[in-house]
Amino acid sequence: MEKTMPEVNAEFGAAPVVAFPGEQPPAGLRVVELVEGDGPVVRPGDTVTVNYHGVVWGGSTPFDSSFDRHSPASFGIGVGQVIKGWDRTVPGHNVGSRLVVSIPPEYGYGSRGVPQAGIGGTDTLVFVIDIVSTR
């Protein structure tokens, strides 16, 4: 895996464990496919169902995790229903894939962040995403 990206356990469906390689996140929007699924390819405009785990770069406590809720989430992808970082990284990957995505503020929640979730305006977000299905 890329040395600038967090290390994540690569078992699809397993609760994510994220270890950061250093204090500074990589520049720009980055995605690494940890597990390549063999299901259908996610395309922009699809409704995708995922399990995800989101942490601020360097943090240990998730600001949101469908794994913790034991309830996957479904939404339109590539159509502005989620943050730009998701819209730009999830399409093109197959159902059954596990991704780790590093999302700088301009592809996340912008300079305002989401203070009530503990996300500052300069925070880079890291998501572990398991693609469960697409339609």
Per-residue pLDDT of the chain (135 residues; tens, 9 = 90+): 568 999 999 999 999 999 999 899 999 999 999 999 999 999 999 999 999 999 999 999 999 999 999 999 999 999 999 999 999 999 999 999 999 999 999 999 999 999 999 999 999 999 999 999 999
- What domains can be seen in the chain, in order of their start residue? 28-134 (3.10.50.40)
Residues 109-128 as b/e (b if ≥16 CB within 10 A, e otherwise) read beeebbeeeebeeebbbbbb
DSSP class of 56: E
Whole-prediction pTM: 0.96
Cβ proximity of 116 and 22 under 8 Å: no
